[in-house]
Structure 1
Amino acid sequence: MADALLSPAVGGVMWVAAAGTVAYSARKLSKGESKDLNSPKSVSFDKKIPLMGVLGAFVFAAQMINFTIPGTGSSGHIGGGILLASLLGPEAGFLTIASVLLIQCLFFADGGLLALGCNIVNMGLFACFIGFPLIYRKILKKGFTPTKIMIASIVSVVVSLQLGAFGVVFETMLSGVTELPFSTFVVLMQPIHLAIGAVEGVLTGCVLIFMYNAKPELLVGYDGSAVKENVSVKKVAVVLVVITALIGGGLSLVASSNPDGLEWSIEKVTGSTEIDRSNGVSDALGSVQESTAFLPDYAFKNSDSTMGTTVSGLIGSGITLGLAAVIGVSASKIKNSKKHA
């Protein structure tokens, strides 16, 4: 979401909601209270810390690739919440997606600073704390198979994205954006994000099936039902790093230029992909963002070179990897220090 879709009051409330969920997740991890990470058959969170950084980088890079939705003139990209939660648990997954969105906002001007809280809730909270535990885990409760993983991925991603899309519409309505009437906006947003969710669900399922075949113990809640070759976490992480570099450094150049689902919906209503609204708060935060974003819109400032996209993909993935890893290591150290105490 851009800041123009929000009032300062709604943006502020959602900032508080996002910050509260971040604090809750950090507390759960630091105290070792995440029930989803206590399965005796799954790899422990401490051993997944390198993977936390790598997965954050992978999602950052993957979000740069918009795929075309045939017959609509729109495009979409993965959110990554279900993918992260299914491999890291809901708390660590949420902190990782929040890190991705923070870096996108501050350094690449992707999403408004006032809207950051909304984006974290819409893309992170709904997936990690609703779609994952209430849908994905329920479908896989009686055992893991590639077919079940694919079904769970598609259904949970679609539901999570529908909730996120409705969240955008609801937050816009509460902000008094009269240019986007609620009924018209919701009728456009939900179907297009249903299509986007279906594609993301399949892509998520493919990644998780790859993980299942390589090292099923990485999947949260894994019950030990499959006997696989013992591939190390390090090898899986190396493969993901290579894929991330290829996506961020190369495939991002061929991303669809069509407007994404939100921009497409806005354009259908107003005739433009953006709304021109501002206030003192959004103007001030916009100035802050302008000063921190060294590669706005994933490009060099005042340059048409496509190398800006490649550099953005590699640098952004690297920063995300570092931040997510620092969060994981910090949570692990706090948890271990409390155990010793």
Structure 2
Amino acid sequence: MHMSDALVSPTAAAVAGTASLLLLGTALRKLRPASGMHAAPEANERIVPLMGVTGAFVFAAQMINFAVPGTGSSGHIVGGILLSAILGPWAALLTLSSVLVLQCLLFADGGLLALGCNIFNMAVLSCLAAYPLVYRPIAGRSTSPGRIFAASLAASVAGLELGALAVTAETVASGITALPFGRFLLFMLPIHLAIGIGEGIATGTVLCAVQRYRPELLAGRRNEKQTGKTLAAIALAALVVGGSFSWIASSRPDGLEWSIERTAADPEIEAQPDGAHRTAAALQQRTAALPDYDTSAAGLVGCGVILLAAWGGTRLLRTRRRQA
């Protein structure tokens, strides 16, 4: 569902980018340690490593495109519901947004001008809409695998459908393509329903396993004394998935590309020749060291960058706490 710059006008990009930045700023404030006698600044030291290893896992999992039977399309998980159930919605928003920024800058996956749209469509709508409005009411505080799985399935579908609707609206509102709203939506919603079901099954399976073997990792029930062994196990799983299973990913077009192919007379949509699109393309060309994941080590590189950033963030927080 990563939008390219060719679908987005500078105005639409500015609106979505502003909304995403404001919400990311709110997320940072909510994760900032409280002040006063009962402040616990060390709490952030513990969640940052968890954000890093789960972010690396989601990055790796996103590289595995699974075929959608009978359509000629493929999909991949977004990961917002999985991250929200473990980290809480605001930390999940920061984590998933970091993954999307890395994908955009290092791998040219999604346009730089469209980055605000992609953060809003995939991170904001899944973490701040589908999770609190769908997942939490269904799952509640229950430890029942059935309720967790049902909540994961329903919330994943809701998140994908909201994202598909937002992509369609942003594309049509941009007015730089000839994609009619009704016909575009007619393809976007059903294909992302199927992809959402696939993500829901994967998310539910992982969360049920976490509930059974490591329930202290779940948001609201987290034991602050997480062991390094648990974090190392998640990091290792991310590296294994990113370094091996991504090789068997489907080569079929994703849901957005598939929908464009069936809606547009010419599916090869070119970016507009204006200054904003040219500038964004030039900047992305400079930052994209591994465009289109053109090496078998791309998964390991991406996971490594996220884990390194989490390690650096933890060290920075510890340094600030000692100086306080």
* TM-score normalized with structure 2 length: 0.90
The whole-number CA distance in structure 2 between the counterparts of 1:198 and 1:109 is: 27
Alpha-carbon shift at residue 211 of structure 1 (Å): 1.1
Q: How does 1:1-341 map to 2 (within 5 A)?
A: 1-32=3-34, 46-222=45-221, 233-270=227-264, 273-278=267-272, 279-299=274-294, 308=295, 310-327=296-313
The whole-number CA distance in structure 1 between the counterparts of 2:200 and 2:56 is: 19
SS at match of 1:220: coil
Q: Which amino acid aligns with 1:285?
A: A
Q: Which amino acid aligns with 2:99?
A: V
Alpha-carbon shift at residue 121 of structure 1 (Å): 0.5
Cα 1:267–1:332 change in 2 (3 A) is farther
The whole-number CA distance in structure 1 between the counterparts of 2:116 and 2:66 is: 25
Q: Which amino acid aligns with 1:98?
A: S
Alpha-carbon shift at residue 333 of structure 1 (Å): 7.5
User: Residues 190-235 of structure 1, C-alpha deviation per residue, up to 9 Å, x if partnerless?
Assistant: 01000000000110111111111121121113499xxxxxx95423
Q: Which amino acid aligns with 1:73?
A: G
Alpha-carbon shift at residue 242 of structure 1 (Å): 2.1
Q: Which amino acid aligns with 1:322?
A: L
State how many pairs are aligned.
313
User: Residues 280-313 of structure 1, C-alpha deviation per residue, up to 9 Å, x if partnerless?
Assistant: 21111101100110100001xxxxxxxx1x2111
Alpha-carbon shift at residue 133 of structure 1 (Å): 1.2
Q: Which amino acid aligns with 1:108?
A: F
SS at match of 1:191: helix
RMSD: 2.3
Cα 1:164–1:205 change in 2 (3 A) is same
State the identity %. Answer: 47
**Structure 1 stretch displaced more, 200-209 or 322-331:** 322-331
Cα 1:22–1:326 change in 2 (3 A) is farther
User: Residues 96-137 of structure 1, C-alpha deviation per residue, up to 9 Å, x if partnerless?
Assistant: 001000010001000000000000000000111111111111
Alpha-carbon shift at residue 325 of structure 1 (Å): 4.8
User: Residues 32-54 of structure 1, C-alpha deviation per residue, up to 9 Å, x if partnerless?
Assistant: 59xxxxxxxxxx65433322111
**Structure 1 stretch displaced more, 206-215 or 152-161:** 206-215
Alpha-carbon shift at residue 273 of structure 1 (Å): 4.6
Cα 1:250–1:269 change in 2 (3 A) is same
The whole-number CA distance in structure 2 between the counterparts of 1:211 and 1:332 is: 28
The whole-number CA distance in structure 1 between the counterparts of 2:54 and 2:80 is: 11
SS at match of 2:220: coil
Show structure 1 runs of 5+ residues with no match.
34-43, 225-230, 300-307
* TM-score normalized with structure 1 length: 0.86
Alpha-carbon shift at residue 315 of structure 1 (Å): 0.7
The answer on whether the counterparts of 1:56 and 1:324 sit within 8 Å (CA) in structure 2 is no
The answer on whether the counterparts of 1:53 and 1:320 sit within 8 Å (CA) in structure 2 is yes
The whole-number CA distance in structure 1 between the counterparts of 2:65 and 2:100 is: 16
Q: Which amino acid aligns with 1:323?
A: A
SS at match of 1:184: helix
The whole-number CA distance in structure 2 between the counterparts of 1:54 and 1:180 is: 39
Show structure 2 runs of 5+ residues with no match.
36-42
Alpha-carbon shift at residue 239 of structure 1 (Å): 2.2
Q: Which amino acid aligns with 2:215?
A: P
Alpha-carbon shift at residue 258 of structure 1 (Å): 0.4
**Structure 1 stretch displaced more, 170-179 or 266-275:** 266-275
The whole-number CA distance in structure 2 between the counterparts of 1:106 and 1:128 is: 22
**Structure 1 stretch displaced more, 269-278 or 113-122:** 269-278
SS at match of 1:68: strand
Match of 2:39 in 1: none
Q: Which amino acid aligns with 2:29?
A: R
User: Residues 55-88 of structure 1, C-alpha deviation per residue, up to 9 Å, x if partnerless?
Assistant: 1111111111100000000000000111111101
Cα 1:160–1:325 change in 2 (3 A) is farther
Alpha-carbon shift at residue 271 of structure 1 (Å): 5.2
The whole-number CA distance in structure 2 between the counterparts of 1:32 and 1:206 is: 35
SS at match of 1:113: coil
The whole-number CA distance in structure 2 between the counterparts of 1:332 and 1:22 is: 22
Cα 1:209–1:333 change in 2 (3 A) is farther
